[in-house]
Amino acid sequence: MKAPVARTPDVQTKLPSVGTTIFTVMSALAVEKNAVNLGQGFPDFDCDPKLLDAVTAAMAAGHNQYPPMPGILPLREAIAAKIETLYGHRYDPASEITITAGATQAIITAILAVVRAGDEVIVLEPCYDSYAPNIELAGGTVVRVPLTPGSFRPDFDKIATAITPRTRAIVVNTPHNPSATVWTEAEMQRLEALLAPTDVLVISDEVYEHMVYAGARHESAARFPGLAARTFIVSSFGKTYHVTGWKVGYVAAPAPLTAEFRKVHQFNVFTVNTPMQHALASYMADPAPYLELPAFYQRKRDLFAEGLAKTRLRLLPSAGTYFQCVDIREVSDLGEADFCQWLTSELGVAAIPLSAFYAEGFDQRVVRFCFAKKDETLRTALERLARL
């Protein structure tokens, strides 16, 4: 009998527009060219040794089996206490806070929980690259509203126009990746007022909440009762404690929203790394690490900006996050993507084109650097950029 021919059946992709991300492309090129990688947003320095000791202690204490589905209660209690202290809103640790496998999982879980086929979800471009695919996987329609070019501030007239009877949610992100813009209290109040007569939910990506500079404050959706009542607030321990590879985050939301969130969470993740949760719970007893984070990163931002100011790159404001955007018009006639390729290959510094954060690749001649790096890494990059 003749053996059947092995054949992989064709699969109709659910994400036809998704290919290799710019982050993968630029990181591979950075390795190939031995370039300083200021493209991807992660630190090249270690976390606090006390946090590692806490993980070791948790493992030694036997915290190595499944934790409760929503996360261990001590960690949820610590998060609730932090949010109440910083933002004045009390979330119930039992029914309104869930530990997630990073912020990206938190965002897709929130979207899957509330978005159905035919629903519209507003995203504000430029935006983090997971938002649109998440909405499409849920069967929703992505409605793109541009932030104001140059200033990257929300245009509420355009947001209002985009809201229809089919609008299910809006995704907002402050401090904002990639532009490093921070929403003001007035802007959050305007969003609150705009959504008040609607049933539109909010997914508030606040992973850079502790990276706001020059004495400004992070305007969490939790500060505003009208927003808090309709919002999934997403944050990240990886960003806050320099452990992006741990992939631990959380969502805070009103109990009815959390109930729907957990229905999805229990089947796409179920639960999150046990010893890391215990370590984070004990580490959060001291608020200093996140309270001191603005000063820590502002110093790095200023060191990097001082060096960039000696080049022909024009610095855009960096009010939050650990990103610095620059205008390249006085340096090159190339578009953003080609400039980043050239910069990596010829000067040995990798950056990310802002056009990668727009669906249609809008090119405004701006690229993004990450300054969450050791001082010596930043100085090496600046030595090379000085040739511009």
Same fold, 22-47+291-385 and 49-289: no
Residue count of the chain, please give it.
Answer: 388
Per-residue model confidence (pLDDT) at position 299:
98
Per-residue model confidence (pLDDT) at position 23:
81
CA gap 142, 121 in Å, rounded:
5
Number of C-beta neighbours around residue 137 at 10 A = 14
Q: Find the angle CA(99)-CA(103)-CA(105) to the nearest 5 degrees.
A: 80
Ordered mean pLDDT values, 10 residues apiece, the chain (388 residues): 87 87 85 93 95 98 98 98 98 98 98 97 96 97 97 98 98 98 98 98 98 96 98 98 97 98 97 98 98 98 97 97 98 96 96 96 96 98 96
Per-residue model confidence (pLDDT) at position 27:
86
Per-residue model confidence (pLDDT) at position 21:
80
Per-residue model confidence (pLDDT) at position 26:
86
Domain 22-47+291-385 class in CATH: alpha beta
The model's pTM is 0.96
Per-residue model confidence (pLDDT) at position 25:
85
Domain 49-289 class in CATH: alpha beta
Q: Find the angle CA(160)-CA(133)-CA(155) to the nearest 5 degrees.
A: 20
Task: Give residue limits of the domains in the chain.
Answer: 22-47+291-385, 49-289
CB-based contact 63:274 (threshold 8 Å): yes
CA gap 18, 33 in Å, rounded:
26
Per-residue model confidence (pLDDT) at position 18:
84
